[in-house]
Structure 1
Amino acid sequence: MNSAREESTIVSRQDVEDRIRALLDGMSLEEKVGQLNLVQCTGPHVVEDLAPDIRAGRIGSILNVEDRDAINALQYIAVNESRHGIPLLIGRDVIHGYHTIAPLPLGQAASFNPAVVRDCARVAAQEASAFGINWTFAPMIDIARDPRWGRIAESFGEDPFLTGQLGTAMIHGFQISEDNGADTLIACAKHFAGYGASEAGRDYNTTNVPLNELRNVYLPPFQAARAAGVGTFMTSFSDIDGIPATASDFLLKTVLREEWGFEGAVVSDWDAIHQLCVHGLCENDVEATHLSADAGVDIDMVSAAYQQHMPELIANGRMSIARLDELAGNVLRTKILGGLMDRDVTSPPDEPPRMAALTKVREAAEQSLVLLRNEQNILPLNAAHIERLAVIGPLADEPVEQLGTWIFDGDAARSVTPLSALKSMLDGDVAVDYVRALETSRSRDRGGFDDALNAAGAADAVVLFLGEESILSGEAHCRADITLPGVQADLVRRLRTTGKPLIGVILAGRPLAMGDIIEHFDALIYAWHPGSMGGPAIADTLFGRCVPSGKLPVSFPTMSGQVPIYYGHKQTGRPATPETVIHIDDIPAGAEQTSLGMTAFHLDAGYQPLFPFGFGLSYTTFHYSDLSINHHDIPMGGSVVVEASVTNSGDRSGTEIVQLYIRDRFGSLTRPVRELKGFKRVHLEPGETRKVSFRLHTDDLAFYGRNGQFAAEPGAFDVWVSASSVGGLHAVFSISG
């Protein structure tokens, strides 16, 4: 495999820099600023509207032009009618698919399978590039530990290691091609940085992230993206310690450029340069332009602040031509390394075969499903033992809603819904009675409950499709109460009274707090928003054609008030244990006030999540044994090999995601109680045993310590090989000083 980016490395770095220098030397001030100008233009006259500015070199990038012919015409003007023939960056939010939609990134993360994430990005890149798009604003690799935040749907969850691995896979899927790179997209790692820590889970809100957390939790996935060769970075809307990311010298100069050596373009988020004034950092757009450009934002997304005010800053000596050349040079370098300067950008490749794309996203949907509950092995269902199946709920037959958030170009005609997939699979052998029961997931009208109860009463089993419509998650769609919206919980309780097996399938863009109703389900599958082929994936899993293997990439709270709750928390001085927890209902009336013996828990929710990170059931069972480590004491710079045997102890073949966790017992800064350091998908036949091996180098145990340096520290480490972030086989090793 190769990409335009990889091919360009054959040419020496000096050749690339000479090419940039030659272009800059021939460009006017207006043309240089034009390379920094990203504009949006929509409507039927987009070519006529943009053509004069493109010819004059006043535009370097466009976004949200959807028509293939219009994009080709604009590129033709840029390449053939402007002075320097520099192609345009054509940007679009291609997040988890273009026409064919894969599961949400959070759902893809449940697969713990980088290959699946890469393949879904490859499909998206092939489809989008066929319409002339060459730049996507993905992956979003913000660490998301607050499910109230709508954009958790775009994330890979709460863990830095998993996010780094999957973000790398998505970048490779977008940017690496098997041909000349024409069917690739330049990826964009966003949002740099800390956006996932928005206070109260409210989008665009302030983030208060201590330097320790920033360095050790929020930045590692971005560093992994840099190492993966990501083409661009996007700044976060939010401020950190009083400085919005779009004006942060620390993030953009110290970390990104100086420490990591990134040489591509940095783009602001939508209108973020102007919004520095709204934040209260700048008095006007002139100052916002100065601060953003000085910090290192190369491309101004839609605010036009650079175009309007940068010449003025240069004229009055507040900004140098050399600085402008750096910014424009970063954009040119991105275009060169992305292959745009060396291929015919006016003739995009053909769109890939639809069936091949659907096959890939179906595989992703299958691996994204997480079995959270399966009492008395009610699943998988056996069609031979069922005469009537009741399918109930507002999300059983919604082609658009199953696609999820931020799918501007998604083709709902490609969706196969769960209801249609079940009818097709059962094909008259089992009668399928469908009752919507609620008009939407938010509905409070119980008028359809009686029909649902009648259908359930006449059926041998009930499959209930609940959750959230896609509009309830994503950018600017945050929720304070993350229980099932509307009266869905009441519907669950009513259906429970029928005594029929009740199987829940949840379609949602975030973890939902279901502590009040979880016991009413005999079985529960979490399907996220599973994309175009979510229906067949769900149907096949319900009836055992597929064995669920997904694991949670984020912890599920019992109730909304537990948020944030995540596995990699600190120990505290008073860690909770099962023995120390008391429930609010167990406190006698008139009890004396005391804190003696108390620990860190909620009186009404305890201290544990409803379901922990890494959790997921299967239709078979897996037994872990024979943990071994080859060294109990290793020198700095050494490695330890951790091995364990995993046996399929059930009667069906299945795939287990084996996880490796560590804990640094004592450090110069307090460390998390567990950290994911490895995972492997292992397929086992019934009775089969396989030894799973992980190698840990001391570099894998490094962190930014009290002195601000990134290094491993001597001392004792716990290590677990386990099926989730709870429990597992345990051993101890040490790094000698």
Structure 2
Amino acid sequence: MTPKLSRHHDGTLYRDLNDNGVMDAYENPNLPVAERVADLMGRMSLAEKAGLMIHSIVSVNAAGDLDSPLMSAGRVPADEFVLNRHVTHLNVHRIPDPRSMARWSNQIQELAESTPLGIPVTISTDPRHSFTENWGASFSAEHLSAWPEPIGLGALSDEDTVREFADIARQEYTALGIRSALHPTLDVATEPRWARQYSTFGQSAEQVARFGVAYVDGFEGVDGLSSSSVACMAKHFPGGGPQRDGEDPHFPYGREQDYVGDMFEYHLAPFRRVLARGVSAIMPSYGIPIGLSLDGERIEEVAFGFNRQILTGLLREQLGFEGVICSDWSLITESRFGGAHLPARAWGVEHLGELDRVQRAIEAGCDQFGGEDTPSWIVELVESGRLSEERVDESVRRLLAVKFELGLFDDPYVDEDAAVEIVGSSQFRAAGHRAQVHSATVVVDSDDRPSIPVASGSRVYSPEIPDAEISAAGFAPATLDEADVIVTRISAPFDPRDHYLLEPAFHAGSLEFADADVERLRTLSQHAPVIVVIHLERPALLAPLLPHSAAILAVYGSSDAAVLEALATEGAARGSLPFDVPRSLDEIVAARSDVPGDTTSPLFRAGV
């Protein structure tokens, strides 16, 4: 689909977005971004400005039309956001096939073009290129190319692969009309129990920093934003890894971030590097800093999204960040869906009402509210004199600049046929498959009688992998009693929880295997050598598995075909552990949550 263009008397082609027959400055593709932004802001009402400061969630139905409700109690249709609430940042959750998604993107942009100023929509997404389905944090690849989770890219220790992934993801996103990535995660995995480690690059701050730069290079482009870029939102500033007891700050019991090891700077380091490189947006952590002092000043114990010392004092003034600060999702209102609920993540300011929370976050430094749908808050604050319109203009200027830099005002449309060809292309799928194979990590294998690689033609029994996949890998499918080798796929253990919305998808709590799981392996090992393939989204306590395992292969998001190739091919599994694997739960409990590798005698060290 192509935009409708008008021709100025000097020959310039432009979109007459306000339909007045004149090429206004904000419509002129030849003017600098700052001039276009200034012209547009002078034409905007307060309600239109407020709409820019809201970043709402929508779902896209299978047909790719605009009957998609907001995934909350409000059930707000997408057209209501754009036409009446002036919301032009939309975060898509589940998406349909590429053609339908591209169609939806074009329809939402047509709708935006029909508004008085024609401000285009920025479509954003959480990560969606791997195997973890957690609609509060990430989505499985489905139609897109499938890659290991970021923790698997960390296992590869290869910046070029990170950059390749980001560039391919950029191409797939732009083909679908998605122009904002709510990632990368620059948190450092220092608490072994934390549920979000799979979305980090590991426990090394130096590696997270290098990979973060490569990631942003691939999405945004080494020369800055352009019409082919996807704008990144790096998170969770100033580092979300040191979670008390490994609990996640989505939930009331996970509010605290502890700095008992005085390692605040270690967690901040990746952000320093990426900010020096340049990034479009920053998302603050939900967490509350506990016992933190910086430059002799005690930091207030309120969530980072409400913390002026961190967002204005550190991020803006000390680190010089001039881009967008967008809150993490639902800081202001509670979330409800399907009978489940989750309180607003207003940690430390729960006593404040919604309007007061909005004011507090803006005064702290936030430009935009993720996961919310009520721009009238901002209008009310200005009209009541509690917030100046000049402060609103600061945020609007930053938000509009990104839209202009992405070229959305000049052409926000996508080619539906190209989307089908680009998204999940054979070339991109092959690249993702290679990364899945190479990120696999041989954690345990015998030096005397190695089990990996498995000899071609071996009789393989697997309770989880289909016989057709086993045959395609060059092995002979076998029964348990016939097997030369047994391959079993397992996942890192966790405590199932289902009290709050989103809670079942966050694999938190104990890292210990149940007795029944260990007994199952013991029983299997009585028939043939067992190769344990474990999805190591967190550093599971592997010690009880060792007596019953001929080998242990860690994967971080891999198909059956990738697993079998890693097992069949000499040297294919090239990964190294991106974090320490502790020896016991007692050692984890005794360790400091902000210190990497702080258990006293880990079973396996990072880098093995």
Query: What's the TM-score, normalizing by structure 2?
Result: 0.77
Q: Which whole-Å CA distance do the structure 2 matches of 1:245 and 1:377 have between them?
A: 52
* Structure 2 partner of 1:380: 452
* Structure 2 partner of 1:560: 585
1:132 Cα deviation from its structure 2 partner = 1.4
1:482 Cα deviation from its structure 2 partner = 1.0
* Structure 2 partner of 1:496: 525
When residues 232 and 301 of structure 1 are mapped into structure 2, their CA distance, relative to the original with a 3 A threshold, is same
Structure 1 position 341 matched with structure 2 position 409: yes
* Structure 2 partner of 1:207: 256
* Structure 2 partner of 1:135: 180
1:420 Cα deviation from its structure 2 partner = 4.0
Q: Which whole-Å CA distance do the structure 2 matches of 1:179 and 1:268 have between them?
A: 23
Letter of the 1:362 partner, please give it: H
Structure 1 unpaired stretches of 5+: 1-10, 398-418, 435-454, 572-599, 602-606, 616-737
Q: How does 1:80-159 map to 2 (within 5 A)?
A: 80-97=113-130, 98=141, 99-159=144-204
1:139 Cα deviation from its structure 2 partner = 0.8
1:14 Cα deviation from its structure 2 partner = 10
The CA deviation string for residues 214-260 of structure 1, in whole angstroms up to 9 with x for no partner, is 64211111122223322211121212241111111122112221222
> Which of 65, 71, 75 is the aligned partner of 2:105?
71
Q: Which whole-Å CA distance do the structure 2 matches of 1:201 and 1:13 have between them?
A: 51
The CA deviation string for residues 430-452 of structure 1, in whole angstroms up to 9 with x for no partner, is 53126xxxxxxxxxxxxxxxxxx
More strand by share: 1
- Does the CA-based 8 Å contact 1:277-1:284 persist in structure 2? no
> Which of 283, 293, 303 is the aligned partner of 2:362?
293
Letter of the 1:380 partner, please give it: I
> Which of 40, 45, 64 is the aligned partner of 2:67?
45
- Does the CA-based 8 Å contact 2:241-2:594 persist in structure 1? no
SS in structure 1 of the partner of residue 400 of structure 2: helix
SS in structure 2 of the partner of residue 38 of structure 1: strand
Q: Which whole-Å CA distance do the structure 1 matches of 2:574 and 2:539 have between them?
A: 18
* Structure 2 partner of 1:359: 430
1:325 Cα deviation from its structure 2 partner = 0.3
- Does the CA-based 8 Å contact 2:225-2:405 persist in structure 1? no
* Structure 1 partner of 2:483: 459
SS in structure 1 of the partner of residue 178 of structure 2: coil
- Does the CA-based 8 Å contact 2:102-2:415 persist in structure 1? no
SS in structure 1 of the partner of residue 87 of structure 2: coil
Structure 2 unpaired stretches of 5+: 1-27, 70-75, 96-100, 131-140, 291-300, 334-343
* Structure 2 partner of 1:370: 441
* Structure 2 partner of 1:626: none
Structure 1 position 425 matched with structure 2 position 473: yes
When residues 546 and 182 of structure 1 are mapped into structure 2, their CA distance, relative to the original with a 3 A threshold, is farther
1:459 Cα deviation from its structure 2 partner = 2.1
Structure 1 position 511 matched with structure 2 position 539: yes
SS in structure 1 of the partner of residue 452 of structure 2: coil
Q: Which whole-Å CA distance do the structure 2 matches of 1:104 and 1:472 have between them?
A: 21
Structure 1 position 319 matched with structure 2 position 376: no
Q: How does 1:321-720 map to 2 (within 5 A)?
A: 321-345=389-413, 347=415, 350=419, 351-352=421-422, 354-375=425-446, 376-381=448-453, 383=455, 387-392=458-463, 394=464, 396-397=465-466, 420-426=468-474, 430-433=475-478, 455=480, 457-468=481-492, 477-484=506-513, 487-498=516-527, 500-530=528-558, 534-563=559-588, 569=595, 607-615=600-608
Letter of the 2:302 partner, please give it: I
1:568 Cα deviation from its structure 2 partner = 9.5
Q: Which whole-Å CA distance do the structure 2 matches of 1:103 and 1:570 have between them?
A: 23
* Structure 2 partner of 1:627: none
Structure 1 position 263 matched with structure 2 position 322: yes
Q: Which whole-Å CA distance do the structure 2 matches of 1:179 and 1:37 have between them?
A: 24
When residues 471 and 21 of structure 1 are mapped into structure 2, their CA distance, relative to the original with a 3 A threshold, is farther
SS in structure 1 of the partner of residue 355 of structure 2: helix
The CA deviation string for residues 263-299 of structure 1, in whole angstroms up to 9 with x for no partner, is 2211111111343656435420111011111111111
Q: Which whole-Å CA distance do the structure 1 matches of 2:395 and 2:225 have between them?
A: 28
- Does the CA-based 8 Å contact 2:175-2:414 persist in structure 1? no
Name which structure has the greater RCO, CA cutoff 8 Å, separation 6+: 2
- Does the CA-based 8 Å contact 1:263-1:333 persist in structure 2? no
SS in structure 2 of the partner of residue 188 of structure 1: strand
When residues 355 and 177 of structure 1 are mapped into structure 2, their CA distance, relative to the original with a 3 A threshold, is farther
SS in structure 2 of the partner of residue 243 of structure 1: coil
Q: Which whole-Å CA distance do the structure 1 matches of 2:81 and 2:534 have between them?
A: 49
Q: Which whole-Å CA distance do the structure 2 matches of 1:383 and 1:250 have between them?
A: 60
> Which of 238, 247, 256 is the aligned partner of 2:287?
238
Letter of the 1:288 partner, please give it: R
- Does the CA-based 8 Å contact 2:201-2:208 persist in structure 1? yes
SS in structure 2 of the partner of residue 26 of structure 1: coil
SS in structure 2 of the partner of residue 292 of structure 1: helix
> Which of 311, 314, 327 is the aligned partner of 1:252?
311
Q: Which whole-Å CA distance do the structure 1 matches of 2:496 and 2:579 have between them?
A: 18
Letter of the 1:614 partner, please give it: G
- Does the CA-based 8 Å contact 2:204-2:596 persist in structure 1? no
Q: Which whole-Å CA distance do the structure 1 matches of 2:552 and 2:592 have between them?
A: 21
**Larger Cα Rg: Structure 1 or Structure 2?**
1
The CA deviation string for residues 580-605 of structure 1, in whole angstroms up to 9 with x for no partner, is xxxxxxxxxxxxxxxxxxxx98xxxx
SS in structure 1 of the partner of residue 50 of structure 2: helix
When residues 236 and 134 of structure 1 are mapped into structure 2, their CA distance, relative to the original with a 3 A threshold, is same
> Which of 199, 212, 220 is the aligned partner of 2:269?
220
Larger mean CA deviation between 332-341 and 552-561 belongs to 332-341
Structure 1 position 162 matched with structure 2 position 221: no
Q: Which whole-Å CA distance do the structure 2 matches of 1:57 and 1:432 have between them?
A: 59
Q: Which whole-Å CA distance do the structure 1 matches of 2:555 and 2:79 have between them?
A: 45
